[in-house]
Every structure is written in structure tokens, then in C-alpha cells.
Amino acid sequence: MSSPREQRWASLQILGVRVDCVDFHQTLDAVSAWIAQSRARDEKSEDAAPRLRQVCTVNPEFIMTARRQPAFAKVLAAADLCTPDGVGVLWAARLAGVPLTERVTGSDGIHRLCQRAAQQGWRVYFLGAAPGVAERAAAELARLYPGLPVAGAYAGSPAQADWPQIRRRLAAARADLLFVAYGHPRQDIWIHQRRDELPVAVALGVGGAFDFVAGVTPRAPRWLRGLGLEWLYRLVRQPWRSRRMAALPLFALMVLVEWVRLRPTKQ
């Protein structure tokens, strides 16, 4: 059986973290293949449940967090797909001589995946964010993508005490695709730790995407995103992020140092 991970996309290491060289088209195809595999197994009632596939959207904050938290670095290393998220990741890839065509973010990915889900009939579950936000995000996506099979929506929390309740809800929902909005690194670690128990084919951490879709947090205008300045917009609108985002200049510096170190020197 082939899986997209076995297809071995080209990938690169940015400060020790793997980033797969995929665009949205390849990401959607991978998710599609995984869901089809999972459904085929269900139809055959094969005993061994297919392994959950985990997608992580790797931006510079992820990379800097992974450098501080080995447990998170292990989760990213084990993920089935680490998409390039963030203009800093595209810039670092270009420096490394690997031009990537686009950012594959959770905030855009949730739209692309829900659009495909509506076409293909994938059942989608929305887990996370503040109470009521997941339901609002699901309703908005169902409005945008008519026919979207919403398997359920629930805030829950990544706390262990909430797990039995979440497990019960997911077992009843029979979802193919699970979006988890608990912010990084928690959401990604949460998925990884429960990968043998989550009854879905594919799980993806989406950070603040439900907040964007539900209109709780405004997203940067498209033209600003096009200029690669979404991070600046978020910083101005959500100044409490400044401590987290302080890691970004350090990321840029470390990438540059690495680039100088690895650059072939002329004799």
C-alpha cells in the first residue's frame, strides 16, 4: 500500500525541523488518499485499524518551539506531513535553494479541505477554540461549502480530564477528518499522543483558524498576506503575541548563520 509519506516528497530541514516540499494541491491529494485508504479498510472490516495520519503546518514559531521542546520536535518528526507555513519558512527554503510555491497554512487549509470535503463527502469534525466557536466555524464553512458533512463540533480542551468526553463524541461522530484548534504545540502533541485512539483518518492542528472563520479574530487582508506581512498584522491586532513572536528575528538570524556556514566557499 502506498501512502503519500512513502511517495517521499522532497523535504528539507530548517534548523533541524523537517518541512515537506508540498503545495495545497499535493496536500489535498495526500489527505484524499489517506481518507480513501481508511474507508476502503472500513468497508473490508479489516481488523487492524489504519493508522491515523497527522498533518502539521510548520511555521517559524513551530520551528523555534521545537528547538526548545524536544517532545514537540519528536511530534513533528513523526508527522505524516509537515507543510510549509509562514513566509519565514518560504524564505528559509529559498535560501537553501529549494523554492516553494506557496504557504500551506491551517487558516487557508481549513477552507480548501472543507471545499474538498463537500465535494467528496468527507465527514469533518471541529474540535477546540473557546466554547461555541467551533460550532460557529462549522456553520460558516457549511454555508460557504454547501453539502459539507459536519460530523460535529465541540470546544473541549486538551486537558486529560476532557479526553473521555471527547473520545465519546468522536466515536459517535464517525468523522474522516479532524481539525484541532488548541494552538501549537499543544494541539499537535495532543493528536500525536492519541494517534492510536482517535477514530479518524486524518487529523490536522489548525491553531486560531476557527477564530478566523467564526469572525472572532479578523484575518489580515488578502493584499497584506500577498506581501508576506500577515505576521505584522497579527502583531498589531494581537499585541499579546509579541513575546511569542520575539522568536522570529532569532529564527531569521539562525537561518542566516546556518546559510553562511553551509554555503560552498570558493577556493
From 87-95, 122-130, 245-253, 254-262, span contacting ligand UDP (CB under 6 A): 122-130
From 48-56, 109-117, 123-131, 143-151, span contacting ligand UDP (CB under 6 A): 123-131
Is residue 201 within 8 A of residue 34, CB to CB? The reply is yes
**Residue 210 touches ligand UDP, criterion: CB under 6 A:** yes
- Helix-helix angle 70-78:186-193, to 10 degrees: 60
- Using CB under 6 A, pick the residue from 53, 116, 123, 184 that binds ligand UDP: 184
Is residue 47 within 8 A of residue 57, CB to CB? The reply is no
- CA Rg, the chain, in Å? 18
From 17-25, 90-98, 162-170, 207-215, span contacting ligand UDP (CB under 6 A): 207-215
- Which amino acid would we find at residue 179? F
Q: Which is nearer to ligand UDP, 36 or 248 (CB)?
A: 248
Strand segments (E) across 98-236: 124-128, 150-154, 177-181, 202-205
**Residue 207 touches ligand UDP, criterion: CB under 6 A:** yes
- Using CB under 6 A, pick the residue from 129, 153, 170, 189 that binds ligand UDP: 129
**Residue 158 touches ligand UDP, criterion: CB under 6 A:** yes
Residue 171, number of CB atoms within 10 A of its CB: 12
Q: Concatenated DSSP letters for 5-60?
A: TTT---EEEETTEEEE---HHHHHHHHHHHHHHHHHHHHTT-SSPPPPEEEEEE-H
Is residue 135 within 8 A of residue 153, CB to CB? The reply is yes
**Residue 208 touches ligand UDP, criterion: CB under 6 A:** yes
- Using CB under 6 A, pick the residue from 19, 79, 148, 181 that binds ligand UDP: 181
From 93-101, 178-186, 223-231, 255-263, span contacting ligand UDP (CB under 6 A): 178-186
- Using CB under 6 A, pick the residue from 3, 37, 120, 157 that binds ligand UDP: 157
**Residue 81 touches ligand UDP, criterion: CB under 6 A:** no
Q: Concatenated DSSP letters for 129-162?
A: SSTTHHHHHHHHHHHHSTT--EEEEE---SSGGG
Q: How far is the CB of 133 from ligand UDP (least distance, A)?
A: 7
Residue ranges in contact with ligand UDP by CB under 6 A: 128-130, 157-158, 181-184, 207-208, 210-211
